[in-house]
Amino acid sequence: MKQKRPIVALIAFFSMALMYVPSIAVAVFSVNDAIYGLTWRGFTLRWYQKLIQNEYIIDAAINTLFVATVSTLIATVLGTALALGLYRFPWPPSCHRLFDLVINIPVVVPDIIMAVALALAFNALRLLSKTFDMGMVTLVVAHVTFQISFVALVVKSRLESLGPETDEAARDLYASSFFHFRRVTLPLIRPGIIAGAMLAFTLSLDDFIISFFNHGPDSITLPIFIYASIKRGLTPEIHALSTAVLIVTAIPIIIAERLTRKF
pLDDT at 1: 46
Does residue 149 lie in a domain region?
yes
Decide if 51 is inside a domain: no
Q: How far apart are CA 119 and CA 255, in angstroms?
A: 33
Look up the CATH number of the domain holding residue 171.
Answer: 1.10.3720.10
**Which residues lie below 8 Å from residue 86, measured CB to CB, with a gap of 6+?**
96, 99, 103, 152, 156
Whether 206 is covered by a domain: the verdict is: yes
pLDDT at 246: 83
Identify whether 68 is part of a domain.
yes
Under 8 Å between Cβ of 216 and 132: no
- Using DSSP's 3-state secondary structure scheme, residue 43 falls into strand
Query: Is residue 34 domain-resident?
Result: no
Residue 41, domain member (yes or no): no
pLDDT per residue rounded down to tens, the chain (263 residues) = 455 577 888 888 888 888 888 888 888 888 888 777 677 888 888 888 888 888 888 898 899 999 999 999 999 999 999 988 887 777 777 777 888 888 888 888 888 999 999 999 999 998 888 888 888 999 999 999 999 999 999 898 888 877 666 666 766 666 666 666 777 778 888 888 988 998 899 899 888 999 999 988 888 898 898 888 877 777 788 888 888 888 887 887 777 777 666 55
45 in a domain, yes or no? Answer: no
Is residue 135 domain-resident?
yes
pTM of the full structure: 0.82
**Residues 168 and 162: beta-carbon distance below 8 Å:** no
Domain count within the chain: 1
Cα–Cα dist 9/7, whole Å: 5
Domain around 61: 57-262
